Chain A
Amino acid sequence: MKYVSEFRAKAFIEALLGEIAKEAASGIRRTFMEVCGTHTAAIARGGLKRLLPAAIKLVSGPGCPVCVTSTAYIDAAMARALRPEVTIATFGDMLRVPGSAGTLEAAKARGADVRVVLSVLEALAMARERPDRRVVFLGIGFETTAPTTAAALARARAEGIGNFLVASAHKTMPAAMRALAADPAVAVEGYICPGHVCTVAGLAPFAPLVEEFGIPAAIAGFEPTDVLAAVLALIKQRNRGESRLENLYRRSVRPEGNPKARRLVASVFEPADAWWRGLGVLPGSGLALRREYAAHDADAVLPVAAEAPREPAGCRCADVLKGIIEPKDCPLFGEACAPDRPIGACMVSSEGACHAAHRWDRS
């Protein structure tokens, strides 16, 4: 697999680990955060934590879309799923996230029309084929995914596919990273920045953060050598007292990102306040449909009565998402809460820190 296998080469991994060991020889403890859930999954899959020196700790951040999505959002999706004319189309991970009154998976088992899609375009096709159904796509994800939802909405509007609706919980990353950097309870000394978010967003949204908080940052791809190169860059910066934004994923991340994708997002969505599990409401960190798209906005077309959501009792997902505790520090981890019986969102998604830790500990 070209441009994949090369970046998994054992010789490169060993060389990077050797360099990291040299830089970590002082034994000074360093805590770095992989902001992106896809990095969390890649680190777990590659067993990278076991390979790194004990002085280097990697903690997961808020970049798992399913994990940060509110229980209220799941509850709204459940309420809509129960309407006879509604089809819910969603990425698979959302099916098993516990809402106040169960999961979408359970609703599906009881007869609700809930479909798993790999792309928003499949949801749009469903709406096109079944004008009698209202297809509600659950729009979750960050800068990487928002352009795909925007493209589908623009097409639905142009083609007059009025039964295609989006419930948007799309979010943008920099505000969350800023909130974490400003939180004294979070002791992160460097960010592994999300490579595919930056592929779209470019460098500009992240540079000010690095400057303001004096925190080293490295944009990384998702193969083992990409992640290890980022760890090496961060520890080097720390050891030399530097703080810079380094782009180590240049094969995908241009400094300007993908302006065409961003223009499309800006034409469909506008910034809105958004609630993040662990971080609360962050002003302007969400993407809401613009007024021109109100006819496709599930919140406008299919409003649901907001009831106070019930969070799963005892779940410490909120602290896990800030890197304050590790999954194994949660009393429910492993016994009560496991991937086949998840209590919190962080155990559901393969990108969730609890899910990744559970798999890794047992492998």
Chain B
Amino acid sequence: MCVAFPMRVTAVTGDRGRVALGDVEQEVSLELLDNVAVGDYVIVHAGFALQTLDRGEAAETLAMLGALTRPEEEPAP
């Protein structure tokens, strides 16, 4: 029920938008967010974008995971 996916915004018209994930494209309401732009990734749940995905934070999490795979380096704190 709380299933939600990060989807890329492909079009914005007022508080409606189009989002894509792989081959799936759908319409979403953007009314729960401010300042969504084409190219952003948003977390989509039940026809609504709930949050804009923070790319910086995503990169940081992936970097921490990456560090775990290289134990010879300084381990992540």
B-binding residues in A (CB < 8 A)? 1-4, 6-7, 9, 11-12, 14-16, 18-19, 36-38, 41, 63-66, 91, 93, 118-122, 140-142, 144-145, 147-148, 151, 194, 196-197, 199-200, 222, 225, 229, 248, 250-254, 258, 260-261, 264, 349, 351
Contacts and interface: CB of A to CB of B under 8 A. Distances in A.
B46 interface: yes
B46 A148 contact: yes
A252 B6 CA distance: 9
B54 A15 contact: no
Interface of B: 1-6, 8, 21-22, 29, 31-34, 41, 43, 45-48, 50-51, 53-55, 57-58, 60-62, 65-66, 68-69
B2 A36 contact: yes
Given A36-B2, A141-B1, A144-B2, A1 B22 contact: yes
B2 to A, nearest CB: 4
Contacts of A63: 2
Pick the 9 closest A-B CB pairs, nearest first.
A119-B47, A250-B57, A15-B68, A251-B58, A3-B6, A12-B65, A196-B2, A15-B69, A144-B2
B48 A254 contact: no
A94 B2 CA distance: 14
A264 B2 contact: no
21 contacts: A2-B8, A7-B62, A38-B3, A118-B46, A119-B46, A119-B47, A121-B29, A140-B1, A151-B29, A151-B32, A196-B43, A229-B65, A248-B61, A250-B54, A250-B60, A251-B53, A251-B54, A251-B61, A260-B32, A260-B33, A349-B1
Contact of A65 (B1, B58, B66): B1
Given A141-B1, A145-B1, A15 B65 contact: yes
B6 A4 contact: yes
B32 A258 contact: yes
Given A1-B21, A147-B48, A64 B29 contact: no
Contacts of A2: 6, 8, 41
A260 B53 contact: no
A4 B5 contact: yes
A148 B45 contact: yes
B73 to A, nearest CB: 12
Nearest to A262: B32
Contacts of B41: 2-3
A142 B50 CA distance: 13
Residue among B33, B60, B61 having the largest count of chain A Cβ atoms under 10 Å? B61
Contacts of B29: 121, 148, 151
A196 B45 contact: yes
A248 B76 CA distance: 14
Contact of A120 (B22, B47, B54): B47
Contacts of A254: 51, 54
